[in-house]
Chains A and B, each alone.
Chain A
Amino acid sequence: MTAIEMRSDHLLPPPPSPKSQVAWWGMVLFLLNEATLFASLIGGYFYLGVGNREWPPAGTPKPELRLPLVMTALLLSSSIVLIVGEKGFEQGKRIRYRVASIITILLGLGFLFVQAREYADKLKAHSPTENAYESIFFTITGLHGTHVAFGLLFLLWALCREWSGTTHPRYPLAIKNSSLYWHFVDGVWLVILTCLYLSPRWY
């Protein structure tokens, strides 16, 4: 094929990439949608905050940092492990992917376990129906926890797909999309940590 033909012909396939797959695009749009949902709620958090004289209101302590920092460490390390696993799959090291995926799932379960502990501590003295601050706090963190749980099911599903041999080596979309979702949930947690846990210490 000559150079001129290569330029004029619309029928030349580019190298395959999971990122040109329609399902990858669908996932990206879905995540933009999800990000906007969290943005709306966090916007609501600050809107309510501006309308109150003190935020958190008087009588409500600023959220504890100890457990949330443990949770952050768990999620961040899980994302890193998962990236190692993804790279492994791309290089044909399927065992590495499986091990990384299982470790990710365990770290994610750890996150949910610690979050349950944090909730239990908080619920001893306060309830989500007490005031607008507690309501929006539990709503945002609870929604995120639900996303973590769904992310775990998604990762588990992708692992089953890989195990059963129904993942295409060149287009590992199940792996790509579930990982993307997991990294997204991880990123949202960093935003929540900043806005809900850290920001009350700055004003």
Chain B
Amino acid sequence: MTSTADRISVGTDPLRTRLTDLWETPHTWLAWLSTVDHKKLGKRYIYTAFMFFIAGGIEAAIMRAQLARPENRLIGPDAFNQLMTMHGVTMMFLFAQPVLSGFSFYLTPLMIGSRELAFPRLNAFSYYVFLFAGLFMYASFVVGQAPNAGWFNYTPLASVQYNTGFNIDFYALGLLFLGVATTAGACNSIVTILKMRAPGMSINRMPLFLWSSLTMSVAVIFCIPPLTAAVGLLELERRWHFVFFDPRFGGSALLWQHLFWVFGHPWVYIVFLPATGMLSMVIPTFCRRPMIGHTFVALATVTTGLIGFGVWVHHMFATGLPQLSMSFFSAASMTVSIPSAVTIFAWLATMWYGRVVFATPMLFAIAFIVQFVIGGISGVMTAAVPFDWQVTDTYFVVAHIHYVLAGGTLFGVMAGGYYWYPKAYGRMMSESLGKLSFWLMFIGFNVGFFPMHISGLQGMPRRVYTYSVASGFGPANLVTTIGVYIFAVGLLLSLWNAIRSRVAGQIASRNPWGAATLEWLAESPPEHFNFAHIPIIHGREPLWDGAFEEGPAYDETRLTPRTSTLDATLEEPIEMPEDNLWSLVLPLAMLAATVGLLVRSLPWTIAGVVISLLSLARWMWPSNTKTLETET
């Protein structure tokens, strides 16, 4: 099957030289900072997300050490609150979504046969905003006032009456700032997927990863604003004495919860769905057959994204809401299991009718399915209101979220990482190290997180820094700590594998796994211009059934085709922007404004805003009058 990929010519040498001249980022520091190459930025997204992941992991390791035995005095309650909050904030906002975005920004143009994202400079911009927002939030540790009211930051605990330091301001302003990156990235993904697909890749031929990426991005467009509103109102209340959450002045503490969970529940799917998309790419490749129920899985993905907006109240069953509202949201929450089951059965059927190759990515994919089913079942259990009342704010919920997001998303990212690594670096990762890492992670994860169900059912509340001997929570917690440390060793082994394989890995061919989709048509690693000839697509598995042909080379300037939304008929080649520094200057100015708001410095805030506006105006001003068509 690799022969189909090798059938295509790599382009004549003068053509490749010309394209390289057009698309390559020069090897200077300034060029490194101003690059708009989606491959470089996608990798940077992933590296940065893993950097934050390690920080979040260290926080978890300290907490687990503290909780390993009853009445431990390793850290106090204040430190625990900060670690617990930052662990959640990091994993939710600075790891899960950015790492999935990183994969998406790296892979999308390759999967759709394009040379760039729709808005390359916006991509650089959103990367820098993400980086600065993450560093901004982590700067809170430097001043010893990290966010400490949990990742969902309920009022009045987060209100200024009970939380006077900078802690919550770091949280609120950091998320306000980070939301810009997330939104910009989502716009970029949507327009890229809808407008930049290679000619002939009609919407029904689109790989499933892109369906999940598209669903996630559309959800981001609609779910970030409620969060922006929530943290904006919170800052107005904390800093300028507005009142929104204080019932004494006609406010409502539940307003925060509604706004936060209108954002929060779609967000949980946002950080989960792209991992299912990765699985839908990995499983057909290692089952050596096309995905069964491709259309249904695509529809299920979109449906899950939609239903995700109608279930937020199930996070609030214990707040004393009307019966009718709880019944509605309970039913809606159970509905989510239908599209999820469609996806799972499609994967199982693909495995059943295929010939499974148990390579490392496939092992991670299988573990994903097992753990996601467990997490899904505990999810359906908590959708039932009486059961939810019993386990709300206990470790049962902690077990549930970790089964879905660590057992699901993280294992999906591992599967995707092992799967696409050879594409990105031109070398294979070590299979023996990979398998060892997999088994450590799989065993460690389940040993660590399954007992949380039990401690939860026994009544152990979440977010406590310690517990008494008499409570009887000791044994389950000790097992959890041991399991989590095994899990961490497995993870570090994979990180080591990734670093080591860059120099020691076996050289990868263009399509080492014999996969079906377009990214495997590009060189490993892809050349600066991705494809010497833009492919024209005639089928869903182009590399398996040979349903593609070489299209135009577009080598006059930095060109890539723009096509129509549904049928992907060619509209015209559009010119892509050169590297530029404004997509770094603007985030820097925004960072200055955010810091200004934090330290209540009017000059910094105003300077930040004014420079932001000026650099925005300059950015959007065409630098070259020949390229008037392409204001991106």
Chain A residues close to B by CB (< 8 Å): 10-14, 16, 20-23, 25-26, 29-30, 32-34, 36-37, 39-41, 44, 47-48, 51-52, 57, 128-133, 135-136, 138-139, 153, 157, 161, 165-168, 170-171, 173-174
Nearest neighbor of A140 in chain B, beta-carbon distance? B229
Asked if A22 and B195 make an inter-chain contact with CB atoms under 8 angstroms apart, the answer reads yes
Which of these, B249, B574, B622, B625, contacts A22 with CB under 8 Å? B574
Asked if A48 and B251 make an inter-chain contact with CB atoms under 8 angstroms apart, the answer reads yes
CB interface residues, B 117-136, toward A, < 8 Å: 118-119, 122
Q: Which residues of A contact B628 (CB under 8 A)?
A: 166-168, 171
CA distance A135 to B258 in the complex (A): 18
Q: Which residues of B contact A32 (CB under 8 A)?
A: 221-222
CB interface residues, B 213-230, toward A, < 8 Å: 221-222, 224-226, 228-230
Which of these, B242, B536, B621, contacts A128 with CB under 8 Å? B242
Asked if B187 and A29 make an inter-chain contact with CB atoms under 8 angstroms apart, the answer reads yes
Q: Is B504's beta carbon under 8 Å from chain A?
A: no
Nearest neighbor of B562 in chain A, beta-carbon distance? A22
Decide yes or no: A36 and B222 within 8 Å by CB, A11-B570, A48-B252, A157-B617 being known contacts. Answer: yes
Nearest neighbor of A157 in chain B, beta-carbon distance? B617
Asked if A10 and B568 make an inter-chain contact with CB atoms under 8 angstroms apart, the answer reads yes
Which of these, A48, A57, A129, A130, contacts B240 with CB under 8 Å? A129
Asked if B236 and A131 make an inter-chain contact with CB atoms under 8 angstroms apart, the answer reads no
Q: Which residues of B contact A30 (CB under 8 A)?
A: 183, 187
Q: Which residues of A contact B194 (CB under 8 A)?
A: 25
8 A-B pairs with CB atoms under 8 Å apart are A10-B563, A25-B191, A33-B221, A33-B225, A37-B229, A47-B258, A132-B244, A165-B625
Which of these, B191, B232, B250, B569, contacts A29 with CB under 8 Å? B191
Decide yes or no: A129 and B187 within 8 Å by CB, A22-B574, A48-B255, A171-B628 being known contacts. Answer: no
Which of these, A11, A33, A161, contacts B552 with CB under 8 Å? A11
Asked if A44 and B259 make an inter-chain contact with CB atoms under 8 angstroms apart, the answer reads yes
Which of these, B119, B199, B249, B562, contacts A132 with CB under 8 Å? B249
Q: Which residues of B contact A133 (CB under 8 A)?
A: 250
Asked if B564 and A39 make an inter-chain contact with CB atoms under 8 angstroms apart, the answer reads no
Nearest neighbor of B232 in chain A, beta-carbon distance? A139
Q: Which residue, B249, B250, B628, has most C-beta atoms of chain A within 10 A?
A: B250
The minimal Cβ–Cβ distance linking A84 to chain B, given in whole angstroms, is 24
The minimal Cβ–Cβ distance linking B222 to chain A, given in whole angstroms, is 5
CA distance A34 to B228 in the complex (A): 10
Which of these, B122, B226, B244, contacts A36 with CB under 8 Å? B226
Q: Is B620's beta carbon under 8 Å from chain A?
A: yes
The minimal Cβ–Cβ distance linking A100 to chain B, given in whole angstroms, is 21
| Per-residue A-contact encoding for B184-200, CB less than 8 Å = 1, 0 else | 00111011001110011
CA distance A82 to B233 in the complex (A): 34
Q: Which residues of A contact B183 (CB under 8 A)?
A: 30, 33
CA distance A101 to B425 in the complex (A): 52
Q: Which residues of B contact A39 (CB under 8 A)?
A: 225
CA distance A29 to B552 in the complex (A): 30
Which of these, B186, B187, B229, B622, contacts A40 with CB under 8 Å? B229
Q: Which residues of A contact B228 (CB under 8 A)?
A: 37, 40
CA distance A16 to B191 in the complex (A): 18
Asked if B621 and A44 make an inter-chain contact with CB atoms under 8 angstroms apart, the answer reads no
The minimal Cβ–Cβ distance linking B342 to chain A, given in whole angstroms, is 28
Q: Is B506's beta carbon under 8 Å from chain A?
A: no
Q: Which residues of A contact B259 (CB under 8 A)?
A: 40, 44
Decide yes or no: A26 and B621 within 8 Å by CB, A131-B243, A173-B631 being known contacts. Answer: no
CA distance A191 to B365 in the complex (A): 48
Q: Which residue, A22, A47, A138, A166, has most C-beta atoms of chain B within 10 A?
A: A22
Q: Which residues of B contact A12 (CB under 8 A)?
A: 569-570
| Per-residue A-contact encoding for B76-108, CB less than 8 Å = 1, 0 else | 000000000000000000000000000000000
Decide yes or no: A10 and B255 within 8 Å by CB, A23-B631, A32-B222 being known contacts. Answer: no
Decide yes or no: A132 and B620 within 8 Å by CB, A33-B224, A48-B251 being known contacts. Answer: no
Q: Which residues of B contact A136 (CB under 8 A)?
A: 244
Asked if A29 and B570 make an inter-chain contact with CB atoms under 8 angstroms apart, the answer reads no
Q: Which residues of B contact A168 (CB under 8 A)?
A: 628-629
Q: Is B363's beta carbon under 8 Å from chain A?
A: no
Q: Which residues of B contact A157 (CB under 8 A)?
A: 617, 620
Listed from nearest, the 6 A-B pairs whose CB atoms lie closest are A168-B628, A37-B225, A10-B199, A132-B250, A36-B225, A135-B242
Q: Which residues of B contact A22 (CB under 8 A)?
A: 118-119, 191, 195-196, 562, 574, 632
Which of these, A16, A57, A139, contacts B233 with CB under 8 Å? A139
Nearest neighbor of B568 in chain A, beta-carbon distance? A10
Nearest neighbor of B262 in chain A, beta-carbon distance? A40
Decide yes or no: A129 and B243 within 8 Å by CB, A12-B569, A29-B221, A37-B228 being known contacts. Answer: yes
Asked if B620 and A166 make an inter-chain contact with CB atoms under 8 angstroms apart, the answer reads no
Q: Which residues of A contact B431 (CB under 8 A)?
A: none
Which of these, B237, B251, B568, B622, contacts A166 with CB under 8 Å? B622
Decide yes or no: A135 and B244 within 8 Å by CB, A26-B187, A33-B221, A48-B252 being known contacts. Answer: yes
The minimal Cβ–Cβ distance linking A171 to chain B, given in whole angstroms, is 5
Asked if A166 and B621 make an inter-chain contact with CB atoms under 8 angstroms apart, the answer reads yes
CA distance A47 to B242 in the complex (A): 17
